[in-house]
A and B are shown apart, each in its own frame.
Chain A
Amino acid sequence: MLAKLIKLDLRFAYKQFLAMAALLLLVGIFGPIMNISVLKFGLPLIFTITFSVIPVLSIWLVVQHFQRNLFGHEGYLMFSLPVSAGQLLFSKIITTVLWFNLMLFSALALVILLLRPEVSLRVVMADLLTWEAIQTGLRVLLLINVNVLPLILAIFMGIALGTVAVRNKKLGSFWGNVIAIVGIALFIWCCIKLSAWTYLDLTSEAQLFISITVAASQWLNIATSAVFCTLFFGVTTYIMRHRLNLG
């Protein structure tokens, strides 16, 4: 049933995400022709716009879909399907990860394509397709996902909590958002604290073991994310099972 749900979720939102990815690729392809280049705007600006606006936009789309699909009119269909609340949420998480990564790759492709006037595409690809670059890329991708997933789950939890209020939906939504923001802040604070802790004894001697410290920091980051994901997932499924209040 989970596979069917994932298929259904992909069908529910594929047009929006594929259109966004196609738009990014088109900007990348035709940008240099229309005098939009990395040289003109500067690499930091292009990077900032691409890797902040696009993920935020894709998270916004995912959140909109989550709200409409589970707690809007479509919820009448979704919650009458013979599946568990956990399956419903898990399918949303899997499709969210898929869409988010599609957007990340599209953003990366956009930057590479916009670099064409300055650097040959062949040179960029040759640099990117080395074993070391692929390993680093995968590690970065994993860490981005590890850090984004709790944020999305916190927003899902906030939306679900917001529906518990039956008398005043707006107030419920407000408190749901507040709890989601507190959850996100707590996660970020924990990550920073734990990350700082691994670097506490970073004396000149310890710098020899910097790779060990970085690895430890990354593993702590993954563990923190897992704890927060479990917490947010648990609260959301609890609401869907025991406090569901479809309006």
Chain B
Amino acid sequence: MSESLLEVKNVSKRYGQQMALDNVSFSVAPGHITGLLGPNGSGKTTMIKIIIGLLADYTGEVRICGHHPGKESKKLVSYLPDKMALPAWLVVREALELYTSFFADFQPTRAHDLLHSLNVPQDKRISELSKGMQEKLMLVLTMARRAKIYVLDEPLAGVDPAARDLILSTILDNFGEDSSILLSTHIISDVETIFDEVLFLKAGVVDLQGEAEVLRSQHGKSIDQLFREVYRC
């Protein structure tokens, strides 16, 4: 537990009367890829926002390499939001400059190579890129950092099935052994093989959690099948 890069202890979050997260606890060890799984509205994005520091009003404790979410933790966490956070008028090249100036661990050469391999034009404004291209750009900016933890919120949501393999290989090829990934998704089948650990969230409560391989052998089912069983309406 003490070696964990990310520790979440008894985190709860309310939106008015509605409980968005209820006593959620988990940790992410170095070199591990953790899947934060659940249908829409299960609390995945709320959990991620708390880790990043976009939601400050919660109870419980979050530690990122020993730091509470804040200025220091943001140096260690590379975040891929589920929406386009960059201004539309920004040219792709300028977005790279922005990341270079703010994040000491950002590697512009790596970013250029990734943009090239994903066919994202660098001389266009973000508004001129398709939605898929914009998502690829955000992914490149996130993965071109040498961060301790990568927090990816629905990286596959708006991507067509053909591009998913490319996105996944980009993620897997660009994180180091001493880093970790926390990936939230509700599209399990394409990604389940990459998870070391999974956490099923259901209406803000952890419904199932453990090592992916152990869960598969315990239940005799794939993570995708388990997901469908847990969230069956």
Contacts and interface: CB of A to CB of B under 8 A. Distances in A.
Given A80-B79, A245-B55, A4 B87 contact: no
A81 B86 CA distance: 12
Interface in B42-59: 49, 52-57
B85 A76 contact: yes
Contact of B103 (A74, A82, A242): A82
Contacts of B70: 84
Nearest to A77: B85
A179 B54 CA distance: 24
B16 A74 contact: no
A164 B15 CA distance: 10
B52 A244 contact: no
Nearest to B81: A76
Interface string A56-93: 00000000000000000111110111111000000000
Nearest to B141: A77
A83 B101 CA distance: 12
B16 A166 contact: yes
A12 interface: yes
A33 interface: no
A246 interface: yes
A8 B55 CA distance: 23
Given A80-B52, A241-B56, A167 B16 contact: yes
Nearest to A76: B85
Interface in A163-192: 164, 166-167
Interface of B: 15-18, 49, 52-57, 70-72, 74-75, 77, 79, 81, 83-87, 89, 98, 101-103
Interface of A: 1, 4, 7-8, 12, 15, 73-77, 79-84, 164, 166-167, 240-246
Given A73-B83, A76-B85, 4 more contacts: A8-B98, A73-B85, A79-B53, A84-B70
